[in-house]
A = this chain, B = another copy of it.
Amino acid sequence: MKLVDISIPIRDAMAVYRGNPPVRLRPFKTLRKDGVDVSELCLGSHTGTHVDAPNHFIKGAIGIDRVDLARFIGPAWVADLRRVRGGIGAADLDRARIPRGTRRILLRTSNSRLWHPARAFTTDFVYLATDGADWMVDRGVQLVGIDYLSIEGFGVEGAPTHHRLLGSGIPILEGLDLFNLRAGRWQLAALPLRITDGDAGLTRAVLWTS
List of B residues within 8 angstroms of A45 by Cβ: 28, 38-41
CB distance from A192 to the nearest CB of B (A): 6
Please encode chain A, from 109 to 136, with 1 for each CB lying within 8 Å of some chain B CB and 0 for all others.
0000000000000000000000000000
Please encode chain A, from 129 to 173, with 1 for each CB lying within 8 Å of some chain B CB and 0 for all others.
000000000000000000000000000000100000000000000
**Inter-subunit contact B5/A196 (CB<8 Å):** no
Residue of B21, B69, B191 near A191 (CB, 8 A) is B191
Interface residues of A in 192-210 (CB under 8 A from B): 192-196, 198-204, 206
List of B residues within 8 angstroms of A74 by Cβ: 1
Instruction: State how many copies of this chain the complex holds.
Output: 2
| Closest partner residue, chain B, to A11 (CB atom) | B196
List of B residues within 8 angstroms of A46 by Cβ: 38
**Inter-subunit contact A41/B38 (CB<8 Å):** no
Given A44-B28, A57-B36, A204-B194, A5-B69 contact (CB < 8 Å):
yes
**Inter-subunit contact A199/B8 (CB<8 Å):** no
CB distance from A47 to the nearest CB of B (A): 9
Determine which residue in A3, A37, A56 has the highest number of CB atoms from chain B within 10 A of its CB, and name it: A37
Distance, CA A37 to CA B40, complexed state (A)? 23
List of B residues within 8 angstroms of A9 by Cβ: 65, 194-196
List of B residues within 8 angstroms of A19 by Cβ: 29
CB distance from A60 to the nearest CB of B (A): 9
Distance, CA A8 to CA B74, complexed state (A)? 23
**Inter-subunit contact B193/A70 (CB<8 Å):** no
**Inter-subunit contact B5/A195 (CB<8 Å):** no
**Inter-subunit contact A194/B69 (CB<8 Å):** no
Distance, CA A56 to CA B38, complexed state (A)? 7
A59 within 8 A of B: yes
A90 within 8 A of B: no
